[in-house]
Amino acid sequence: MVVVPLAKSAKTSNADTDSKWPESISWLAVTAAGALAAGGALLLAGKPRAGLVAAASGTTLAMLDQQEAVRAWWNALPNYLAEVQGLLGRVQTALEDVSAQRERLRQVLGK
């Protein structure tokens, strides 16, 4: 078995560059997650109003953090609504056809 030493990074470690928090942490996302968790805990604890307020604020913070995703969903929403409306139209037509068939069958069997 061969042991290969790992190369040390070129970055020197000093008190200014070492921190316990990574630089890429999103405090807005952490706050949103905390508010959502607190809202869930409050709902489970039997405090529905406070839980809903905390969950709503967490959702708002999450939406602020993910503005591009919310914008993309908002722009895609009319297409989804049009698809659902078309599907509901087809279901309504199918139900009308079934109703007409039922009436014809009732007339044939009633004679």
Domain boundaries, the chain: 26-65, 67-111
For all residues of the chain together, what is the average pLDDT?
86
Q: pLDDT at position 23, please?
A: 72
Quote the tokens at residue 103.
């009436």
- Cα distances from 41 to residues 44, 48, 103, in angstroms, run 5, 10, 55
Instruction: With a cut of 90, say whether residue 14 has pLDDT above it.
Output: no
Q: CB–CB of 29/62 below 8 Å? A: yes
pTM over 0.75: no
Q: CB–CB of 36/60 below 8 Å? A: no
Q: Please give the Cα distance from 49 to 61 (Å, whole number).
A: 18
